[in-house]
Structures are given as C-alpha cells and as structure tokens.
Structure 1
Amino acid sequence: MKLSLDHTNHIPLYLQAEQLLRDLIKDPEYVNGKLLPNEVDLARQLAISRTTLRQAINKLVYDGLLIRKKGIGTRVAGITVSSKSNNWLSFSQEMHARGIPIKNYELHISWVIPEDAIVNFFQIPPGKKVLKLERLRGRPENPFVYFVSYFHPRVGLTGEEDFNNPLYEILEKKYHIIANLSKEEISAKAASKIIADKLEIAAGDPILFRKRFVYDQGDRPIEYNLGYYRADSFVYTVESRRE
C-alpha cells in the first residue's frame, strides 16, 4: 500500500500522519492483528522524521487504538472489554453475555497459608490453609486479566473441580453456595515484572487493579479475589441513578 503525506499542505505533518494512521488501521488486514510497518520504514516512506511519526503513533496509543510492544512492534488494539458495576456477574457469565470468546491461558491451584488481610476477611485462625486459585484469561489473541482467588474453608472446594467451568456455577450446583454480594476496591497501579510477563506488557505499564470481596446470601465471606487487568483492554463502567 502506497502511503504519502502532502508536504505542501498547511496542516502539520504530525496531524496528517495521525489521520493517515487512523485511516490505515481501519483496513481489514490491520484490524485482524497485522503489525504496522516499522517506524524507520514508515517514516522514510512518508518523508518525515521518526520523532514526527512517533508523535502521531503516541496519540493513537493514548487513545487506545494502537498497542506498542517493545521489540515486537505496533498493532491495532482489540475491542475494549467493559464491565458494568450495576449488573454483577461472574467473569465467565459476563463475557458470555457480551458474546466475547474467552481463552484460559493458565490455571494453578494450591493450598496456602493466607496473608493477614485474608485471615481477617475470612475470620479464620491464623495458619489455617485456604484454597488459592490463579487464572490467566483473555481473548484468543492475548490475555488481558490475571485473577487470584482465595476461598473460605467453609465453602468446601477441594481443588479437584473443573475450574474451566464458571466458578459461581460450580459453587451453586455442587456446594449449594450462592454468591450474592460483591464489594470492590478499584485502583490504578504499575505492573510488576511478574504481572507484566503474564499480561504481555512491559513492567511499569499501567494496569487496573480490582480487589473483590464476595459474600453468600447470609452475608458470610466466601471469596477474596484480586484482579489485574491490562489498561488497554478493559474499561470499568459505573452507572448510578439518582432516586
């Protein structure tokens, strides 16, 4: 594809490059995940400096339209996943309702002695082991969320369950426990090296961190959940209505 800018136009070259890139990434071959031409070749083809080109690319990255990976290149960002706080479902149920196919990249189960924050939430004796479930999940193209869940011993999970199935369906159908209430804390933070490697981003990149406290119908704690989301792939939407 021949790409060029009008160097006689009064519109600044970086703005022309930005618009050209916006048009380019609508092409099916780029929407489907093909990497954009590398910056050196593209700058040469457009007869502009890499600094000018990078200014245009940075704007599209900031707008969430492009994803840049060091050592790999730049590609079109996938459709952002959104979660609405007024309609709480399990992750699997919510993605299914939105028609978003989900792939499980990692699943780890272990019995651990929890930290004080979890002990206090569950109100269990210090030193008592709980089931820990770690799951790396996302679209077929790439992971976008890493979950770490801890479960109250009272729940009865053994670790032998098929956690490829929706978690809360397992709790309800097998253990007659209904997750009824979720309280959440949401913040932005920089990705640690471990989280960055799992989410395929750079260490220090921004992520959405969500801490979720789940209760049953008797308001008893059943799950302590930590979620680490790629900032370029997830939006958390809050909807409020004034009574």
Structure 2
Amino acid sequence: MACLSGKVALVTGASRGIGRAVALSLAREGAAVAVNYRERAADADEVVAAIRTAGGKAMAVAADVSDSAAVVNMIAAVERELGLIDVLVNNAGLAIMTGIDDLTEEEFDRTIAVNLKSAFLCTRAVLPGMRTRKWGRIVNISSGAARGAGGIGPHYNASKAGMEGLTRGYAARVVKDGVTVNAVAPSLIETDMVRGGLASSPDRIPLGRFGTSEECAQAVLMVIGNAYMTGQTVALSGGLSFL
C-alpha cells in the first residue's frame, strides 16, 4: 500500500459509498484528505469527523465538479487549508437509470458532464503542480459498464468508456513527469446505486456476493502505491467479467 504521510489528497464525491471508503483509506495511509461533495454536507462532515477522530487531517469542500469555476474555487480552498494536491481521485458520478427510448438530451449531457467532464476539469487543475513537483497520482473511478452493457443506460456506458480513454490519454503524456494516471472499474458494488434497484441479487456474480466499497478503496491504494503502473484499468467484478 501507499505511504502517503505528508501528501494531500482530493476525493470527489466522497460523502458516501466508494468515495467515502477511499477518503478514509487515504487518511489511514497518512494523507490529509479533502472530502468533496455537492449536496450531502452532513455526510461529508461525518467523513471528516471520522478522519479527525482517528488523528488525521481533513476538510469538507462543496463544489459541483462539472462546473469549471467551481473546480477552480475548490482547488484554491483545498490548497489554502491543506496544501498542494498530490493525489486526485475522480470519483464523483451520476447514474440516471432510464430506458433508451426515454433518455433525454439533458440527461445525456448531464451524465457526461458529471462523470467525464468533471475528471477532465479536476485533472487539468491539479496537473501543473504535480508536474512541477515531479510526483502525482490520479485515479479515475470507472465502471464495468465501460466495457459491457451494464444496467443503467448507454449514456452511462459512454461516460465511463470516455473516462478510461481519458485515463490512457493523460497517462501517456505525463508519465515522464512522475505522474501516474490509472482507473479502477468496479462492477456491482454494494452501494446506494446497487441497492436502489440496479441489481436485486448477486446471483450472476461468480464469487456469489456484491463487492464492497472498502475493496474498491484497496484497489485505489494499490495503484497509488505502484509507481510503475500507469494508463491501466483495474477491474473489480467478482469474476463477472469471466461470463
């Protein structure tokens, strides 16, 4: 695992689910953590309180990460309170479940903005500092839907496939600057999205159960800790990809 003592990490969409688990795991490895949220202030504050209770350093920072001005303001706030950002985890996401005949242009655009454009905006904001310091770690939270049909819709598929392309594109261009860019692609993790109707049971997963947010966080720490891995997507599917 990564030793992140003295490092600053930003996790987008970190008030619950996978983002929350990632934020807590980064703090346990020694990082000061900025917990981004859009609406769930109380949940974000709870994550920050848990980190501080354990002796770590953290802050909650509100921002719609699909908005460029909001991202600039968020980064400035984190740098004022915690310092320059060394680790970025692009986790914020939107999953609008709808049939292909009911999918609207607004829903498509909003999904691309929140799931894909946000990763571009946040990456663009932190990269200059990482390249100057010759060290940085960027992890994008993708999905098995980037390569499979998934259960949400083609808008979601497109956003996550785009995120993996973004991962490879940045990785190839910043590797010589000491910055690695990787993706972690979970499938059917026991989060609110799955419990809310995406999958009623884990019967079709060979392992026989849903994944956990903590297992996703383990994969994030793994790629952060491996300085030789870049441009890769780590799949977490409980064997679902075998089918």
Scaled by the length of structure 1, the TM-score of the pair is 0.27
Bigger helix fraction: 2
If asked which structure has higher relative contact order (CA below 8 Å, sep 6+), I would say: 2
The structure with the larger Rg is 1
Bigger strand fraction: 1
Scaled by the length of structure 2, the TM-score of the pair is 0.27
